Structure 1
Amino acid sequence: MKNIILWAILGLFLGAPNTAHAQILKKLKKKVEQKVEKEIDKTTDKEEEKDLKQVDSIQGIKKEPAQVVNNEVQQPTKAAELTLNWSKYDFVPGTKVIYDDNLVGEENGEFPARWDLIRGNVEIAEFGGENVIMFRDGAPTIVPYMKNASEDYLPDVFTIEFDLYCGKDNFVIYLFDRKNQKSGSPTGYTYFNIKFDRMEMGRSASRLPQENLEQRRWIHVAIAYTNGKLKGYIDQTRLINIPRIDFDPKGVSLHSYHCSNDNLYYVKNFRIAEGGVKYYDRVMQDGKIIANGIRFDTGKATLKPESMGIINEIVQMMQEHPELKFSVEGHTDSDGSDADNLALSEKRAHTVKSTMVQLGISADRLTTAGLGESAPIDTNGTPEGKANNRRVEFVKQ
């Protein structure tokens, strides 16, 4: 109604020749334009809000109010859900990567270049836009292709991690190289049986507590060995905890007896790392913690769930030692441009800080910095070297 009146008033001055009328006309015209823009903005905001509600409804998202943590406003995000669901995850990967295969550059249909075949059919496939190792048939078994595979290539303290898409039956991880080594164990503590919801080793077995889990799904498998003590994890849950096993693991083999074209298994992001001293001792000795086990989606600052073991450990240490303050510093390998890597490392450092703040660490105890590819600690000429260079450092302040 107000717009109609304004346009009517304008009409009285149309054709008015004198300067005064022209000035009035100009002012009224400006007011009308401002009024129209304001009405358009209101309509747009309402439409955007309606669209967002529809998207949230489709995705099953329930909006929660923003919370204030340590004087910082924290908007509920998937990252907050991640820190909640994985807040008790205590797996900490080794500090130096000794074998890493992210399948970059592999060709679909070919045998994975960084593995050796013992039996069966295994090939590279594409799953969800990523390269994966596909176990097809023939009870396939593969071992990491390493120059000294006939020797003991697992140290006294090591971790193994990979992502597994489960079939309908067991997937097996042997803690010896079935091509080059003998098990040396009389009691069966040489291998893990893994299904989508359980893990078994020797006489130890445990299932995930969740109900209604999908049988065919991606899980994150993690194994930690420390001078005879062995732990096993599926996703955020520790399922195996053996205080002493009766043999010395020397290698690793992956095996799938029951796979077939209608019961395929997939593996990706396989990594072996050598362990190290506890974080607090490392801070006191070196003045910093180097964490290459904090991982992100490729080319993004989105934190992967398995990173929470390290973050939880450092958060607990900071809670026990309130005098500690850190600069959280992101580093990348040499892939990509200098500028992109610098920006990416800064975003990743900020993501880690935000996650730690959500877990209760005061924001004034953490600063962030991104150094991109400028400070490598290993070669960028091998997959293992790149994996060591892709890291987050917590530098004592």
Structure 2
Amino acid sequence: MKTKLITFIVVAFLGIQANAQLLKKVGDAAQRGVERTVERKVEEKSEKETGKAMDSVLNPNKKDKKKSKKEKSKKSKEDKPIIDNTGNSSAKTVKSNSDFVPGGTVIFSDDFSQDAIGDFPAQWNTNGSGEVVTIDGLNGKWLSVMHNSIINPVMDKALPENSTIEFDLYLQANNQQSTPFIQFGLTPVRDILKEDMFYRNRFFINLHRYSEKDGQTLEYGLKNDVIGNKSDFPLTKYANKVLHVAIAINKTRIRLYLDDNKVIDLPRALTTDMLNNFFLNNNYLIPASEIPMFISNVRIASADVDARSLLIKELMDNGKTSTSDILFDVNSDILKKESFAVIKQFGDALVQNQSLKIKIVGHTDSDGSDADNMELSKKRAAAVKNYITENYAVVGSRIQTEGKGESQPVAQNTSADGKAKNRRVEFIKL
């Protein structure tokens, strides 16, 4: 073994002599560094490590170059803002290029926060079964809907002919199980317990499975006939992630947006009676889906009357106005994107009328302590002001802010509807 080691040492030093001219160009400091490397490697006790020493002499920069590339690549990835599957950036809010605009007047909303785990939610109807659950790694509560079950929100009247529907789907997937065949759409049927939807002239959209095992298809149609499909939207990308669904209805026209991508735009697809009800279905196809359908954050709004313009009229005529359509994340001052269209009206009004000055007042419901609600209401008022000054040519000195917490309710805090009315933002003309 010693003989072999001496042989490699001799070869190593012969290599140094053969490359003397190259080392001289590198410089004395670099040469000493290479020699120290050789000496260190010579002390190693195996042929393999001695071979590495020779390699470091003959190719002194090879390892460093590879390391540099790896470090550069790592730094490049670390420098990018983290974006979650809902499209939110950890760095700064990115404005969407989508032309979807949420309706201004909310007529139904539910995030199941008022329902107990294990119960079927109070604001919904079903002909099957489901329960409110939580999902590891996701915020809030979700409605889990079992196979062959239809659900629909309970509303007093049909949808307006100009309206929007939004909700989140969690597309759980496990290659050992069949994923749901999810269907949603519009139907004339008002009571799904008493009347079979299957034979009625409904409009439907199918997410025809979404895992690599099952493949992907998005279909749409009328009654039982598929009239079109889309294969270019990457449904499989959303397996075990949240997909945001948005629907815009304009009389006979329907547009579908999946995570802000417009997927369907049909100008003559709907009839008036289809607006009687909105439904979702963990479909009846065989074999049965072994994984539930999960839904949350439902928002249905009217776009018939531009209530936002009426807010500005009320502000100018009466000196103040109030809205519950400016929404925030739960117990947070982070604005939801559906609030931007409402705030835009105030931003535009301030830009058009340079003499206008306003006070923004935040209000909360009674959940939580008085002190926490007071602080939250102040932060929410400030968040609305900041959005206006950051997105419109309006100086901050024209806007004052104040928080009232839960001290000035306009409805009882004993119901979800009353609490929603109390969570409002007030605008006062100065």
Query: For 1:298-309, what aligned pairs fall within 5 Å after superposition?
Result: 298-309=330-341
- Measure, in 2, the Cα distance between the counterparts of 1:313 and 1:345: 21
Structure 2 CA distance for partners of 1:62 and 1:326, relative to 1, 3 Å: farther
- Amino acid in structure 2 at the alignment position of 1:279: R
Q: Which moved more, 1:335-344 or 1:317-326?
A: 317-326
Q: CA deviation at 1:278?
A: 4.8
Q: Does 1:143 align with 2:156?
A: no
Name structure 2 gaps, 5 residues minimum: 1-73, 82-87, 173-178, 211-215, 222-226
Q: Does 1:175 align with 2:167?
A: no
Q: Does 1:252 align with 2:278?
A: yes
- Measure, in 1, the Cα distance between the counterparts of 2:99 and 2:379: 24
SS of corresponding position for 2:272? coil
Give per-residue Cα distances to partners, 1:316-370, cap 9 Å, x unaligned.
5655665655433322122222322121011112122223333244233433222
Is the CA contact 1:162–1:268 (under 8 Å) kept in the aligned structure 2? yes
- Measure, in 1, the Cα distance between the counterparts of 2:322 and 2:425: 6
Q: CA deviation at 1:134?
A: 0.9
- Measure, in 2, the Cα distance between the counterparts of 1:396 and 1:269: 33
Matching residue within 327, 330, 337 for 2:369: 337
Is the CA contact 1:192–1:201 (under 8 Å) kept in the aligned structure 2? yes
Match in the other structure for 1:277: 306
- Amino acid in structure 2 at the alignment position of 1:175: L
SS of corresponding position for 1:141? strand
Q: Does 1:225 align with 2:243?
A: no
Is the CA contact 2:124–2:153 (under 8 Å) kept in the aligned structure 1? yes
Give per-residue Cα distances to partners, 1:73-132, cap 9 Å, x unaligned.
xxxx957622x23375642334244x333323534333333322213x422221135321
Structure 2 CA distance for partners of 1:169 and 1:109, relative to 1, 3 Å: closer
Q: CA deviation at 1:58?
A: 12
Structure 2 CA distance for partners of 1:61 and 1:296, relative to 1, 3 Å: farther
Q: Does 1:154 align with 2:187?
A: no
- Amino acid in structure 1 at the alignment position of 2:423: R
What RMSD, in angstroms, separates the aligned Cα atoms of the two structures? 4.1
- Measure, in 2, the Cα distance between the counterparts of 1:208 and 1:378: 47
Query: For 1:43-58, what aligned pairs fall within 5 Å after superposition?
Result: none
- Measure, in 2, the Cα distance between the counterparts of 1:205 and 1:323: 53
Q: CA deviation at 1:280?
A: 3.0
- Measure, in 2, the Cα distance between the counterparts of 1:58 and 1:93: 40
Q: Does 1:266 align with 2:294?
A: yes
- Amino acid in structure 2 at the alignment position of 1:272: I
- Amino acid in structure 2 at the alignment position of 1:374: S
Match in the other structure for 2:388: 356
Match in the other structure for 1:101: 110
Name structure 1 gaps, 5 residues minimum: 1-55, 64-76
Matching residue within 192, 203, 224 for 2:205: 192
- Measure, in 1, the Cα distance between the counterparts of 2:352 and 2:220: 34
Is the CA contact 2:308–2:342 (under 8 Å) kept in the aligned structure 1? no
- Measure, in 1, the Cα distance between the counterparts of 2:228 and 2:340: 25
Q: Which moved more, 1:361-370 or 1:87-96?
A: 87-96
Structure 2 CA distance for partners of 1:206 and 1:382, relative to 1, 3 Å: farther
Match in the other structure for 1:371: 404
Q: Does 1:60 align with 2:65?
A: no
Match in the other structure for 1:133: 143
Matching residue within 102, 113, 118 for 2:122: 113
Q: CA deviation at 1:283?
A: 0.9
Q: CA deviation at 1:273?
A: 3.6
- Measure, in 2, the Cα distance between the counterparts of 1:207 and 1:290: 44
SS of corresponding position for 2:333? coil
- Measure, in 1, the Cα distance between the counterparts of 2:194 and 2:339: 33
- Measure, in 2, the Cα distance between the counterparts of 1:305 and 1:104: 20
Q: Which moved more, 1:301-310 or 1:331-340?
A: 301-310
Match in the other structure for 1:91: 101
Q: Which moved more, 1:340-349 or 1:100-109?
A: 100-109
Structure 2 CA distance for partners of 1:173 and 1:211, relative to 1, 3 Å: closer
Is the CA contact 1:90–1:313 (under 8 Å) kept in the aligned structure 2? no
- Measure, in 1, the Cα distance between the counterparts of 2:362 and 2:170: 30
Q: CA deviation at 1:255?
A: 0.8
How many corresponding residue pairs?
320
Q: CA deviation at 1:221?
A: 2.4
Is the CA contact 1:163–1:268 (under 8 Å) kept in the aligned structure 2? yes
Is the CA contact 1:199–1:239 (under 8 Å) kept in the aligned structure 2? no
Give per-residue Cα distances to partners, 1:62-83, cap 9 Å, x unaligned.
59xxxxxxxxxxxxx957622x
- Length-normalised TM-score, structure 2: 0.60
Structure 2 CA distance for partners of 1:140 and 1:187, relative to 1, 3 Å: closer
- Measure, in 2, the Cα distance between the counterparts of 1:246 and 1:361: 43
Is the CA contact 1:144–1:252 (under 8 Å) kept in the aligned structure 2? yes
Structure 2 CA distance for partners of 1:109 and 1:302, relative to 1, 3 Å: same
Matching residue within 376, 379, 383 for 1:347: 379
SS of corresponding position for 1:362? coil
- Amino acid in structure 1 at the alignment position of 2:184: I
> Relative contact order (C-alpha < 8 Å, sep 6+): which is higher?
1
Q: Which moved more, 1:87-96 or 1:296-305?
A: 87-96
- Percent same amino acid among aligned pairs? 28
Q: CA deviation at 1:224?
A: 3.8
- Length-normalised TM-score, structure 1: 0.64
Is the CA contact 2:360–2:381 (under 8 Å) kept in the aligned structure 1? yes
